């Protein structure tokens, strides 16, 4: 499925809230910091991918000549 820019941004907002909830839940549960860090990095990468897709969907995904 191809997302519009707005759909990608909205999905990114949901992902960010899920990350915040992950931290809340991990704190409550007393989880080890290395586990939380690993999950957060995976979430950050997924969020970046989603927002980059939004950038491309917005028509700004031209080659920068790099």
Q: Which of 10, 14, 2 is nearest to 56 (CA)?
A: 2
| pLDDT score for 65 | 53
Q: For the chain, 66 residues long, give each residue's pLDDT as a single digit of tens.
A: 678 999 999 999 999 999 999 999 999 999 999 999 999 999 999 999 999 999 999 986 566 554
| pLDDT score for 64 | 57
Chain Cα centroid distance, residue 16: 6
Spans of all domains in the chain: 5-56
| pLDDT score for 66 | 42
Question: Which structure tokens are listed for 63?
Answer: 């080659």
| pLDDT score for 45 | 98
Distant-in-sequence, close-in-space partners of 53: CB < 8 Å, separation ≥ 6: 3, 8
Full-prediction pTM beyond 0.85? no
């Amino acid at each position: 499925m191809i997302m519009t820019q707005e759909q990608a941004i909205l999905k990114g907002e949901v992902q960010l809230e899920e990350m915040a909830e992950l931290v809340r839940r991990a704190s409550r549960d007393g989880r080890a910091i290395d586990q939380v860090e690993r999950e957060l990095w995976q979430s950050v990468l997924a969020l970046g991918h989603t927002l980059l897709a939004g950038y491309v969907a917005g028509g700004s995904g031209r080659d920068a000549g790099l």
